DNA sequence: AGGCTAAGTCCTCTTGACAGACTCAACAAG
DNA sequence: CTTGTTGAGTCTGTCAAGAGGACTTAGCCT
């Protein structure tokens, strides 16, 4: 049971999205905020960090640099989600759901995700390929998958 | 459309779980790793950081400090998930799913989540309260909810 | 030419990550 | 009862990253 965590999808995803401001930026881009200064204002990200994160996100193909032009101004860049970026919405919904349950103010959640077509609130459901719906985290077990790599012998001590 | 992000559930959740190593630690605790030294070995977290994160997680009620005793040794602490902690599993599954899709090695995913009762792989489904299943991120829209707070007038500039 | 504005860069200060050595409290062996 | 061992930390020094204010740049508009 000694599996190397180096190629874990969770770790890798966190490597891309896990830095302090990245998901906050994505949240706001999902909310339609696409311009540098607006992002600074909304997210509260320091300029330097925003520059940095945006360029990483563009490099990784999560955002794409587009351009817009307000009449009477020069063209400026604007940042939009790619497919890869749009697909992070499940992560954001999962974070919001957990937050609503455990850290929201008594007045209720400050942000809702709604279904565009019917206006009903959106939630995540955990389900297995057999169609069973899962409500208890204890019903889920983690297992090394096909891409798992045994860790080098050296580390195989200390684990009881 | 000027809503203060201060009380956003996503931001707050990230405030608790968003630091560099926190979710990696939770991933491993989900995997049954519960002891200080084992966590260091598996996660690769620096000792100091682990000390720090564990104490924050315990303070926040995400982990609980239990104790175990190997025969012939003294009692030592071990860290276990509380309900609040167990409920982060959706976040971990969302991260894994995104990672499997976009950053996994060609051999396949290194970690799978399976249904304990039937062994089938577990996935997240997005669904609205009306029962519509959602497959396209563009079908989801974010809206300020009941707890949303208008931002102070000062900031209401710059937004187009 | 001079001004305005969005989008950055530059610079400094502080905070946090990281690694390796050190400490501390049982228990066990001599 | 002294010494060794082991797991769980703390201490210390170095170095990268975050935070935030001042400065720069490029095009459009008087």
Residue B131 maps to a domain: yes
| Mutation target among B1, B13, B37, B38 for the A interface, most CBs of A within 10 A | B13
Residue A24 maps to a domain: yes
Using a CB-CB cut-off of 8 Å, the residues of chain A touching B109 are 9, 145-147
Residue B1 maps to a domain: no
What would the pLDDT profile of B25-37 be if each residue is shown by its tens digit? 999 999 999 999 9
Residue A101 maps to a domain: no
The confidence band for B121, taking pLDDT boundaries of 50, 70 and 90, is very high
Residue A102 maps to a domain: no
Q: Are A139 and B132 in contact (CB < 8 Å)?
A: no
The confidence band for B57, taking pLDDT boundaries of 50, 70 and 90, is very high
Residue A18 maps to a domain: yes
Domain count, chain B: 1
The confidence band for B146, taking pLDDT boundaries of 50, 70 and 90, is confident
The confidence band for B107, taking pLDDT boundaries of 50, 70 and 90, is confident
pLDDT for B18: 93
Q: Domain containing B58 — which CATH number? A: 1.10.10.10
What would the pLDDT profile of A18-60 be if each residue is shown by its tens digit? 998 999 999 999 999 999 999 999 888 999 999 999 999 999 9
Residue B2 maps to a domain: no
How far is the C-alpha of B24 from the C-alpha of B43, rounded, in Å? 7
Higher-confidence residue of B104 and B61: namely: B61
Q: Give the mean model confidence (pLDDT) for residues B117-122.
A: 96
CA of residue B50 to C1' of nucleotide C18, angstroms: 12
Residue B150 maps to a domain: no
Its domain, for residue B115, covers 9-143
What would the pLDDT profile of A103-118 be if each residue is shown by its tens digit? 988 888 888 999 999 9
């Amino acid at each position: 049971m000694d599996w190397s965590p180096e190629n874990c999808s969770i770790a890798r995803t966190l490597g891309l999205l896990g830095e302090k401001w990245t998901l906050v930026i994505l949240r706001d881009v999902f909310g339609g905020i696409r311009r540098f200064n607006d992002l600074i204002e909304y997210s509260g990200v320091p300029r330097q960090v925003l520059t940095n994160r945006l360029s990483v996100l563009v490099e990784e193909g999560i955002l794409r640099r587009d351009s817009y032009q307000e009449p009477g101004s020069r063209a400026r860049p604007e940042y939009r989600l790619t497919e890869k970026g749009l697909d992070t919405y499940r992560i954001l919904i999962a974070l919001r759901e957990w937050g609503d349950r455990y850290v929201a103010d008594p007045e209720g959640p400050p942000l809702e995700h709604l279904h565009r077509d019917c206006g009903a609130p959106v939630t995540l459901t955990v389900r297995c390929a057999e169609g069973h719906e899962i409500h208890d985290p204890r019903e889920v077990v983690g297992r090394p998958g096909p891409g798992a790599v045994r860790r080098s012998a050296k580390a195989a001590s200390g684990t009881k």
